[in-house]
Amino acid sequence: MTHKEKTEQFLHQHYHCSQALFGAFAKDFGLDLKTAFRISTCFGGGMRQGGTCGCITASLLVLGMAFGFYDSQDKEQEVYGNQKTEEFIKRFAQGMDGVVCCRDILGRDISKPEEMALVRKEGLILKKCPRALNLSIDILEDMLADYLKNIKETSIELKDIPENEMHRVLRGISKRNYFQRNVSELLYTSAERIAFIQFDIQKFKIVNDLYGEKFGDEVLDFIERQLEKCCNERQFFINLRSDVFMVVTEYKNERELQAFIRELDSQTRLFKSVKLQMSFGVYTVEDREMELRQMEDRAAMARKAAKKNILRNILFYREQFKESLYNRKFIEENMQAAISERQFCIYLQPKYSITKNEIIGAEALVRWLHPERGMIFPDQFIPVIEENGFIKRLDYYIWEEACRFIKRCEAAGINNCPVSVNVSRIHLRDNECIGILSDMIKDYSIPKKLLELEITETADDQQISMKALQLKEEGFTLLMDDFGSGYSSLNILLETPFDVIKLDRKFMINMMLSGKGRLILEQVITMADKLQLGVLAEGVETKEQVELLQNIGCDQVQGYYYAKPMPEDEFYNLLLNKGEEQAGN
């Protein structure tokens, strides 16, 4: 259907002129109709007050969307945008013999509700607006065709222009618009099936850190070049952000699609002898009316799942990914109530000394006891609430629970059992947590050394180092959690004043698998010793692991072999009994 046919259809469905016009172009920008109507209705309000013809308002909206004049920082785009706006109004006024006011076209003042009612009753929009609408569409289509031609011609030149921020942004905007238009057209016109393929590089951050950001940029350029080679004129690609790329393609059957993705994989696998591993997420389009953004989201969900999958690096979006969306929705809708209704609680997992065979502390781990769903484990909800920021509130709640427990122990005469709490990385972005922790210690009047802080090792060592330093200066004991699980920069050990490193469970597994694994562990323990850091092994599950750890000089352990995380009362009783045993001895 042409833009004009669509406009006419909307007019017959009793939409206003501006809604009909903007709605006709909505698909070109990946907008669904509902959103388009909402936007044009908002702008229509202004138009009604000013008396301007609604076709002008809607056309300027279309131009704004097409050229991307929405970045107020981007002065060049703004100038260009204003030129285009003027050009449109001039041509429109010429075509309408100078009539640009709604009142003059309709013969009614639509800012008055009673007159607007008459416009509706008499069907005036359908009778009097089509001339202005058709003229607007002619001008818009002309201008857009011109613009498209320009992008196509200049995009090669743009590549040669030295990279500065302005050009990068400009190029990004035009590319994104160009891509969206092409994809919309493909969805609209293609008789074949269509797939959205999104991919990124596993551990791209490490590539950047190891070889430098310039090399990282070269890698991204290389991928673009390979995509240019692999894609034909009906296959479109874009670098969405950082190392995330998307390709939209037609395909006949799944075998052909798989072969295309494998080709992309093999063409992007190696750059200057550095191996790159891609994770591909694929969404095969079923409903072409769906919003473009939603299709992208589904491909993104599949990509993220592929990233976590150790067996396959290509995953198709399947309905079960929706499950994870429902899960997310459940968490977001229930998390506030869960705090106010005290559904979160701490489980405590003891830490042991192998040689003394006694409890030397505990870690507080959150559990969500939902009245209908039962117990929900942190891995199921922490990633979601870290994304939406709610983790801060939850952590404060858990830290306070830990303080309350420490106080409870003290009251019973147990004052040698430090409790560690987990500090999400989100806290390290600002200074709030330092004050909150210090206040809690004061409010519960417990010794600072009894509340220990676990911070997970990450790639952002600079940021962690700074915050950790401040916490350390405040007098807190710091444990580096999950050491060896991912990035393992040894620098962080030098730069950050951790007191203890907690060896990740992976170390335990590798140690049992090979002599090499054991050797590495031995070296880490020797190094920690030299740096005067304590070492605690996490995830210790077997007697053999305990013996090996003891042989290589690691005494502190935490794991199922000794005890699983348990409810507060159970751990409290364990401590009380331990006290009695010792008293009895």
Nearer to ligand C2E, 74 or 454 (CB): 454
Binding flags for ligand C2E, 354-383, as an x/- string (CB under 6 A): -----------xx----------xxx--x-
Nearest distance in Å: CB 175, Mg ion: 42
Residue whose C-alpha is closest to residue 560's, from 578, 579, 576, 546 = 546
Question: What is the size of the binding site for ligand C2E (CB under 6 A)?
Answer: 24
Please pick, from the candidates 78, 250, 291, 541, the single residue that binds ligand C2E as defined by CB under 6 A.
541
Q: What is the 3-state secondary structure (H, E, C) of 476-528?
A: CEEEEEEECCCCCCCHHHHHCCCCEEEECHHHHHHHHHCHHHHHHHHHHHHHH
Nearer to ligand C2E, 52 or 422 (CB): 422
Residue whose C-alpha is closest to residue 23's, from 127, 137, 126, 104 = 137
Question: What is the size of the binding site for Mg ion (CB under 5 A)?
Answer: 5
Nearest distance in Å: CB 475, ligand C2E: 21
Please pick, from the candidates 65, 559, 571, 575, the single residue that binds ligand C2E as defined by CB under 6 A.
559
The whole-angstrom separation of Cα 127 and Cα 392 is: 59
What are the DSSP calls for 93-114, one per residue?
Answer: HHHTTT--BHHHHHSS-TTSHH
According to the binding rule CB under 5 A, does residue 422 interact with Mg ion? yes
What are the DSSP calls for 300-355, one per residue?
Answer: HHHHHHHHH-SS-SEEE--HHHHHHHHHHHHHHHHHHHHHHTT-EEEEEEEEEETT
Q: Which of residues 434-463 bind Mg ion (CB under 5 A)?
A: 454
Q: Which does 398 bind (CB under 5 to 8 A by kind): Mg ion, ligand C2E, none?
A: ligand C2E
According to the binding rule CB under 5 A, does residue 8 interact with Mg ion? no
Chain centroid offset of residue 561 CA: 36
CB atoms closer than 10 angstroms to residue 272: 9
Q: Which of residues 486-545 bind Mg ion (CB under 5 A)?
A: 538
According to the binding rule CB under 6 A, does residue 484 interact with ligand C2E? no
Nearer to ligand C2E, 157 or 379 (CB): 379
Please pick, from the candidates 491, 560, 570, 580, the single residue that binds ligand C2E as defined by CB under 6 A.
560
Residue with tokens 């769903």: 373
According to the binding rule CB under 6 A, does residue 388 interact with ligand C2E? no
According to the binding rule CB under 6 A, does residue 297 interact with ligand C2E? no
Nearer to ligand C2E, 382 or 419 (CB): 382
The whole-angstrom separation of Cα 199 and Cα 245 is: 5
The whole-angstrom separation of Cα 21 and Cα 19 is: 5
Please pick, from the candidates 183, 398, 433, 450, the single residue that binds ligand C2E as defined by CB under 6 A.
398
Nearer to ligand C2E, 30 or 565 (CB): 565
CB 278 within 8 A of CB 294: no
The whole-angstrom separation of Cα 472 and Cα 453 is: 10
According to the binding rule CB under 6 A, does residue 458 interact with ligand C2E? no
The whole-angstrom separation of Cα 539 and Cα 536 is: 10
The whole-angstrom separation of Cα 196 and Cα 187 is: 11
CB 184 within 8 A of CB 3: no
The whole-angstrom separation of Cα 281 and Cα 291 is: 18
Please pick, from the candidates 8, 28, 481, 568, the single residue that binds ligand C2E as defined by CB under 6 A.
481
According to the binding rule CB under 6 A, does residue 70 interact with ligand C2E? no
Q: Which does 377 bind (CB under 5 to 8 A by kind): Mg ion, ligand C2E, none?
A: ligand C2E
According to the binding rule CB under 6 A, does residue 556 interact with ligand C2E? no
Please pick, from the candidates 422, 477, 496, 545, the single residue that binds ligand C2E as defined by CB under 6 A.
422
Please pick, from the candidates 28, 74, 457, 481, the single residue that binds Mg ion as defined by CB under 5 A.
481
According to the binding rule CB under 6 A, does residue 201 interact with ligand C2E? no
Q: Order of strands, edge to edge, in the sheet holding 193-201?
A: 236-241, 244-251, 193-201, 278-284, 314-316
Residue whose C-alpha is closest to residue 335's, from 404, 292, 388, 299 = 388
According to the binding rule CB under 6 A, does residue 424 interact with ligand C2E? yes
Q: Which two tokens stand for residue 295?
A: 């299709």
Q: Which does 400 bind (CB under 5 to 8 A by kind): ligand C2E, Mg ion, none?
A: none
Provide the binding-site residues for ligand C2E, judged by CB under 6 A: 349, 365-366, 377-379, 382, 391, 395, 398, 422, 424, 454, 481-482, 505, 538-541, 558-560, 565
